[in-house]
Amino acid sequence: MIKEELVSKKLASDLVSILSDLIALPSPYPPGTSVEICAYAAKRLAKAGYKVGIATKTKGVDNVVARRKAKAKGPVVAFNAHVDTVGVGERANWKSDPYKALVKGGLVYGLGAGNCKGSMAVQLWLAEEIARRGGPQRGELIFTFVADEENLGPDGMAFLRKSGKVRPDALILGAQTENNLIVAERGVMWAKITTKGRAAHAGNPSAGDNAILRMMRLVGALQTHYDKVLPKRVRGAMRSTVNLGMFHGGHNTNVVPSACTVEIDRRLLPDEKVEDAFKELKAVIDKAGEPKATYAVEFLTGTNGFYAPENGQAVAAFEAAVKKQAGRTVKFLNATGVSDGRYYADDGIEIINFGPGSGAQGHAANESVPIAEMVEAAQIQFDVVQRLTGIGR
């Protein structure tokens, strides 16, 4: 028992040290620069014996890919954490320096402590500990640390997937799940609708054609449709949803507006497809009765959802590891947002979100992560790797 306590204390100290380093390396979006923090991770991983590369699509937006391959055949298991954070926001809301780790009450405070530098610290420790023991016995381990997650952009994990640099059998993403699992995630589809009208003086509105009123009619048609069909699209705790996120129109109160735009967010069940969701939206708009030349519907971006079967090899390894290391049954959580796993949604692989910290802490002032959860996350994921690829002694 004393030996285990000493090991746990050293592990906690090591994790806090790594996390403190990461918090001190600013990587907010905007601007999204990740050169310095990726160089830090790459240096540690190269020293540990990994084959390390910096993958960059856009200058200043670096991503780290580190590999360790065994001679024996086995699964390709990739770990991932994003290096970028949101901005500081209102500095007055922070009780400590957001770029200097504060250890207090069993927590580590700092910008990105929970989302997602806490998971990154755990994964760096994991990579180094596995290497110290000789690496995987079968298959391949990949550790990826990426930018452009907070922007939902194309220069991070999306680039690694599209370029073929990372193609795993199982993808484990750092997330604030309090060391539980998210194995299912909704897809997302963003679209923009633009309406045209004819400007006129507000004192004589009948001389013009109000683009905002046209948009209101189109949005009303959409809402009527979605109010009817979306309540039926449910899978467990997941629901298919729609949100009108932005509405812009007009340029002066005394002018009939000649243009209006809205942007719409659709969250899709794993068995709904982005392409079909856009076609559905456009079909409703086209049937609303407005003249074809007065509106346009544009697809902005989207990715399909995913669902990792709960009897998959990696999921089973996590269930067993949580039971052994934490003495409890793992919970399967419902995801509100989207992760970088969405870029692999159509690859037929196991995609798992797991890590220390609470989602309520992400993007908030005085963000923190519990040290005890970081220790537990490290122990659980070490156990998972041992089950999936084996680890040298």
Is the same domain home to 36 and 120?
yes
Is the same domain home to 179 and 31?
yes
> Strand 241-249 vs strand 107-109: parallel, antiparallel, or unpaired?
unpaired
**Of 246, 278, 303, which marks where a domain is finished?**
303
pLDDT along the chain (393 residues), means of 10: 66 98 97 97 98 98 98 97 96 97 98 97 98 97 97 94 97 97 95 98 97 98 98 95 97 97 97 97 98 97 87 94 97 91 95 94 91 98 98 81
Is the same domain home to 119 and 180?
yes
The verdict on residue 297 lying in a domain is yes
Helix (H, G, I), strand (E, B) or coil at 31: coil
Is the same domain home to 342 and 268?
no
Residue 363 has what pLDDT? 84
C-alpha of 80 from chain center: 10
Can you read off the two tokens belonging to residue 152? 């939902």
Is the same domain home to 98 and 165?
yes
Is the same domain home to 56 and 69?
yes
Is the same domain home to 234 and 382?
no
Give residue 325's identity as a one-letter amino acid code.
Q
Residue 2 has what pLDDT? 43
- Structural domain total, the chain: 2
Is the same domain home to 25 and 120?
yes
The CATH number linked to 72 is 3.40.630.10
Nearest one of 371, 222, 203 to 288, comparing CA atoms: 222
Query: Domain range for residue 78?
Result: 2-185+306-388
Can you read off the two tokens belonging to residue 63? 């991503």
Residue 356 has what pLDDT? 98
Cis peptide before 30 (omega within 30 of 0): yes
> Strand 187-196 vs strand 295-303: parallel, antiparallel, or unpaired?
antiparallel
Alpha-carbon distance 207 to 236, whole Å? 52
**Of 277, 303, 329, which marks where a domain is finished?**
303
Residue 149 has what pLDDT? 95
Is the same domain home to 214 and 176?
no
Question: Any idea what DSSP says for residue 231?
Answer: G
DSSP bridge partners of 390:
none
* 3-class secondary structure per residue, 78-138: EEEEECCECCCCCHHHCCCCCCCCEEECCEEECCCHHHHHHHHHHHHHHHHHHHHCCCECE
Helix (H, G, I), strand (E, B) or coil at 365: coil
The verdict on residue 35 lying in a domain is yes
Is the same domain home to 335 and 378?
yes
Q: Are 202 and 255 in contact (CB under 8 A)?
A: yes
Residue 184 has what pLDDT? 94
Is the same domain home to 193 and 290?
yes
**Of 246, 274, 303, which marks where a domain is finished?**
303
The CATH number linked to 288 is 3.30.70.360
Is the same domain home to 148 and 292?
no
The verdict on residue 393 lying in a domain is no
Alpha-carbon distance 390 to 393, whole Å? 10
